[in-house]
Amino acid sequence: MNKVAIVGGTGYTGVELLRILARHPGVEVSAITSRSEAGRQVSDIYPSLRGEFDLAFTEPNNETLAEADLVFFATPNGVAMKQTRALLESGTKVIDLAADFRLQDIDAWSQWYGMEHACPDLVAEAVYGLPEVNRQAITTARLVANPGCYPTAVQIGLLPVIEQGLVNIQQIIADCKSGVSGAGRGAAVGSLFCEAGDSFKAYGVAGHRHLPEIKERLAVAAKAPIGLTFVPHLTPMIRGIHATIYAQLDAAIDLPSLQAIYEERYVNHGFVDVMPLGSHPETRSVRGSNICRLAVHQPQGENTLVILSAIDNLVKGAAGQAVHNMNLMFGLDEHAGLDIMPLSP
């Protein structure tokens, strides 16, 4: 049985990891840390896990963490990079759910995240944990950078046409909406019910931290720089991301052919559902699951391609994808612990 530990267990991604791992047949959670809640039982903070874990939160001690085969960091940006080297040297694998290892461009990372990187040499080693792209590399990795939620939805939506050179990569628009849980569990005025309820707004229009991540990874697929306008929005719901992506087709191609390209691209990726022509995926259809649902449209048969991509930001956009990566790193069934049907209603 593989032992895993979670650093930062009181946030939404931490508890989502616990929810998934509670039914995972191949791992045991050996430790879960929280500086603020050390000593308290997990079920005291999250009654939903009552009876599932006989664990108390502990301080994030590297000696204890190193006893695990793998450590998840469900922490704010800048935490994992300070502890990762010691864990790797002890033989413990690491999956970071924050952004410490996502960007290969260290200068860009420092600019967007406002701090100096503590271990830039390890960034080059880190494998970007999008299984739909890097499945094989993840299987041999000891350090995986779990993608961001918006980047996951946008990349999965665009990869088939970018990889085949079918769209103008300088004129892409990603119009994305997220539930309030994407802002985390910390108290903030903008996340209050009275502030976010019955309202809808764009934010980060001048620049969002996920923008350089999306551009860098799509540039790898395109083998050229990407021109992307990315506008995130906050919606009055708890979970979910919906990305409406617009791209100009460079080739004369009809919608059935585009549909076939998407179906072929993801035929061996069980967590991507390419829906039938004419479909409109909804966030409620993926809630609580590790599924990304896609649909492609070509309005009026003209040269604008519209891609619809829906995920649960806490699962496919965070904890579920991290468990998928863990399964690959341990040589387990990719779907282990992740055959979770979406919640409805």
Q: Is the pLDDT of residue 136 over 70?
A: yes
Q: So what's the pLDDT on residue 102?
A: 98
Average confidence (pLDDT) over 324-329: 98
Query: pLDDT at residue 316 above 90?
Result: yes
Active-site residues, by number, are 149
pLDDT at position 185: 75
Q: What is the 3-state secondary structure (H, E, C) of the chain?
A: CEEEEEECCCCHHHHHHHHHHCCCCCEEEEEEECCCCCCCEHHHHCHHHCCCCCCECECCCHHHHCCCCEEEECCCCCCHHHHHHHHHHCCCEEEECCCCCCCCCHHHHHHHHCCCCCCHHHHHHCEECCHHHHHHHHHCCCEEECCCHHHHHHHHHHHHHHHCCCEEEEEEEEEEEECHHHHCCCCCHHHCHHHHCCCCEECCCCCCCHHHHHHHHHHHHHCCCCCEEEEEEECCCCCCEEEEEEEEECCCCCHHHHHHHHHHHCCCCCCEEECCCCCCCCHHHCCCCCCEEEEEECHHHCCEEEEEEEECCCHHHHHHHHHHHHHHHHCCCCCCCCCCCCCCC
Question: What tens digit of pLDDT does each residue of 87-131 get?
Answer: 999 999 999 999 999 999 999 999 999 999 999 999 999 999 999
Query: Given this model, what pLDDT does residue 192 score?
Result: 81
pLDDT at 9 over 90: no
Q: What residue ranges define each of the domains in the chain, with the CATH number in brackets?
A: 2-125 (3.40.50.720), 150-313 (3.30.360.10)
Q: Is the pLDDT of residue 249 over 80?
A: yes
In this prediction the pTM is 0.96
282 pLDDT above the threshold of 90: yes
pLDDT at 6 over 70: yes
| pLDDT computed for residue 113 by the predictor | 96
- Share above pLDDT 90 across residues of the chain, in percent, rounded to a whole number: 86
The per-residue pLDDT for 187 is 67
Q: How confident is the model at residue 339 (pLDDT cuts 50, 70, 90)?
A: very high
157-187 per-position pLDDT tens digit: 999 999 999 999 999 999 999 999 887 777 6
